[in-house]
Structure 1
Amino acid sequence: MLEALRSIVQAVNAAGNLQAALDIIVSRIAEVMGTEVCTVYLRDPESGRLIFMANQGLNPDLIGKISLGPDEGLVGQVARREEPVNLDHAEKHPNFLYLPGIGEEQYHSFLGAPIIHQRTVMGVLVVQQKDSRRFDEDEEAFLVTMSAQLAGVIAHARATGSISTAQNAVGATASFKGIAGATGVAIGRAVVVAPIAELHSVPRRQSDDPQLELQAFQSALSAVRADIHALSEKLFKQLPADEHALFDVYLRIIDDGTWAAEVVKKINEGEWAQGALSQVMSSHIRTFEMMEDAYFKERATDIKDLGRRVLAYLQTSEVEPAEYPEKTILVGEELTASMLGEVPREKLVGMVSVRGSSNSHVAILARAMGIPTVMGAADLPYTQIENANLIVDGYSGYVHYNPSAEVYEHFRSVSEEDQVLTQGLEALRDLPSETLDGHRMPLWVNTGLMADVARSLDRGAEGVGLYRTEIPFLLRERFPSEEEQRAIYREQLIAFAPLPVTMRTLDIGGDKALPYFPIEEENPFLGWRGIRVTLDHPEIFLVQVRAMLKASEGLNNLRIMLPMISNVQEVDEALELVRRAYDELIEDGWDITLPPIGVMVEVPAAVYQARQLARRVDFLSVGSNDLTQYLLAVDRNNTRVADLYHAYHPAVLNSLRQVVDAAHAEGKPVGICGELAGDPAAVLLLMAMGYDMLSMNDNSLLRVKAVIRSCRFDELQSLLDHSMQVDTADEVKSLLRKMMIDIGMERLLQPIGA
């Protein structure tokens, strides 16, 4: 059964559209289970009705023409109750509904399983037989497993189908959920970019000159043929005859005119050479991968390799620079900093990455540059949306394709309100960050690039609560030297002097792996990351600390912060290394002082040992992003569970308060540098808890200051007490919304997508 399951899913994945996928599902399941009927009903998102969409064994003329409500028939019961129904005499069940003309009256056995994707019932999968019997446990388990496996495939196929429909139907629209990477709203046209030599990432694009595309394809094919001949000759004496024969296989595939003719045909039909090659080779690869014979399955790898080689030549042969429209929304499978750098800044209004997280390097860059971005839009059929109208909702993480006039008008209004609001807040830049009754709340900034500096200072930042030192490491192809690091850190310290700059020691691992220092783990967020890496590699840690200390000479505005601390031993070891580096530099004649050293509280263990940690260091700083993730066991970069990530969760709020109490009990200041610090509503609670400093992205500085200057500190304790007594994040959110309305700051609550 497992092999059958794998085979069906693979076949469905290879389907060209949703209907083809459904037809494969019903025919293959009926074949594997030996049933006379297999049917798929898909739920219409607007009406909620279950539409008869594909079948094997019933009247095909009624496909798409009949439907059932959620309260109608056995199919409706399966969808409504979200559980299988297994009957030997379906016609005797009180919920049985006779549908004239469909032809199911002769079938007595009925087994239906719901198709559920991300908690939403997408449809119902049904098998039926003439004989009166209950399907056994193995058969029921197989159908349930099949429906669970197919749910995501159908969701993706439906998404792809909605794009295809929109291309051929006036007014058709689609929306795709991702993860908010950088806040704001972007309205523009999609420009799809593909990585070098990735066949499946090539966008579909019409060609203006088919003859030129044909020449490019033939030239690339000749170049690959020459490469294979050269490799064959080079390795002739180094490989056994059997292994050397692989090159003959490659040459035979190249010289086989069948697939090349298919590429030529697509080019002549108007597709550009890269797209034609991608579509033809991908089709052949899927065909071979689905074969049962092991030898032929292996040929899929050979075809993929050759396809990539030809594609690489096609990509490098493009001499004309890419054209970007005035309002470019950059779209790709996995956007990179180099792709971002190719687009003129004045033309780039938004970004969408199918893969990646809100902590990805490109998302950090997007936030620094103020570009609305959505990451992890996994269901977006990005290769099919070149030049399409898009709206990027960086608040909720939605991408709207070919938006309706109503949706367009809503987001145009939100975008204009954002601009007006931002301009209005500029007047607060030089005003103190204090409440109406005089409580001071220092606002610091999170940085990582020199591009952040000017904006941060222009918006009134009073210091740097988090300087991400990993960014210079990410921008290089090797570890930066001590002198390179010193120069980078010095630049930051000078820019903000005499304001304090808190430099976090190298925080890699999790979803931040260096390309030249890969960390491959099954569970990276619970693995080798942060301080664990640098303590295991003291040579990296010592070089970085020495560079920081040297950079601080004559400025004395450096603070050092240790990430991912989970026990006091890690702090003790790190402090010993810092003091060792300091002593060595003093011996070498450097005129420096030992800076304040702090700990990031971002794992639950650190919350419960916050007081012990505070005794050893000069300050604590809460990393609310990771702390929330670990407390709730929710990877906030995973779209499947991102809805469970609630920074207002009572457990999170209790932990945040506990850290403040522990730090203050030891007479140490405590700040917070996660995204929660830049949430205008959350600031009301953080101030009441007693946080001494808030650090955020520069885009949030003036919004947070506006809230602080509009409230009274003596009224916040009551809000905090009420918030700590409720049971859910939604109740906390309601309390904060009411308070924001009461102080006249409702306009700063993040807009909700249409």
Structure 2
Amino acid sequence: MSASTPPPPRTPSVLPFPPKVYERGNKRLDEVLDFVAFSARPMPLVTLLDEAPRRIVDILGCDVCSLYLVEGENKLVMRGNVGFSRSALGQIRLNVGEGITGQAVEYLRPIISDHAETHASYKYFPGLEEERFPVFLAVPILGKQGPVGAIAVQREATPFSDPDVELLSVLGALISAGIRHAELIDTQRERSSFARRAGGGTRKVTLPGRPLVPGTALGAIAAPRRPPQRPSNVPRAAGEQEQDVRLLKVAFDVAQKAILALNERAKGLAKVGKEAAFLGTYVEILGDMRFRELALELTATGVGIPSALGRVAREATRTAVSISRDPFLEERARDVEDLCDALSMLAATDKRAELPSKAVLVGDGLSVFDLLISARAQPCGIALSERATSPRTRILLELLGVPAIVDVQGLFRWSSDGDIALIDADHGLLVINPSKSEIAAIRHARSRDR
């Protein structure tokens, strides 16, 4: 055979072990691959919190899946769940090292138990009824600089296998990337990483809080308005005095109708009950003709409405503190002061004192003053800082009846008037300057519900 003659074609040999293609049909493999594709997509944090546990339940064939996030210095908060009531979201909290899940995060290793209630670290939460699912597996979710959360799955009877532990640990790594991309701000550890831009406004940030009134809201941030701290000492002209008296009378009528309506609403709310009894004090104060007459008499002298009501409030405080030292009267004096502030705002003619309508209100607390003043603007949601510790806060938020979260640390560091905010009071998250996809998602959900 010459060098230019091509060699004869080779007959392909039959391989004794041909490669196997895994077509769709293997349920667990299909769901794992779908989870990988799902986790690779950018998405709002709440989508990850809802969808990941649902998919994990299908993959592992379990009854419960809880997704915890590390927040603050040492806290694990349940932000996603399938299997328990949604009211548990944002409320179930563990310290790192507490409970089986907290211990898994502390050790950075999976922990498994076929009878969780007998485990030395078991943490019982009244009302959760997790004793129905004693087979327990918890794995930490690891990030670049330590744990970012944990996944806890539970079954009624069938123990988890070693492959289950290995698979859940890998799924946790995929969730970790999604949490990192969601820009959940840990104000305790990342203050220097997310500086505000000069001139107001921030990059998109997500602040965790504690949900109180469920629901979602989207609007511009506004701080509750307060009455002027330094009333004018310039005497009012005769015509202005008469106008002030008329405005104050109208303010009394508006406040009385609003308080009576709130009191009736409180009686109809099962969750509120006797805890709203303090509203009766406001009904009594507004029905006290001596209180009303004194305020109107002082206003008629030309001192102006803020000064007149300020004197009434100071007189009530002086009587309670200096003379009687009665705790009941001291609290009543604070209620009188709160009510006088509200009356002053209700009688104001300055439009700059009014709140924008459909705003997201942010503040350090909520009082009856805020219900009387802020409710007129029909806020779409409320976010309160960690300073909102008054026992009346929950009652007032229930009465206002809009999505609300509390205990939002770093609230004023990251927000300012005019920023767009999304309140997710189902998971307990406040998103400042949300992305277009998050805004579209909430609008889609609203249209679907309608």
TM-score by length of 2: 0.36
Tell me which protein shows more helix as a share of its residues: 1
Higher relative contact order (CA 8 A, sep 6+): 2
Report the TM-score, using the length of structure 1 for normalisation: 0.22
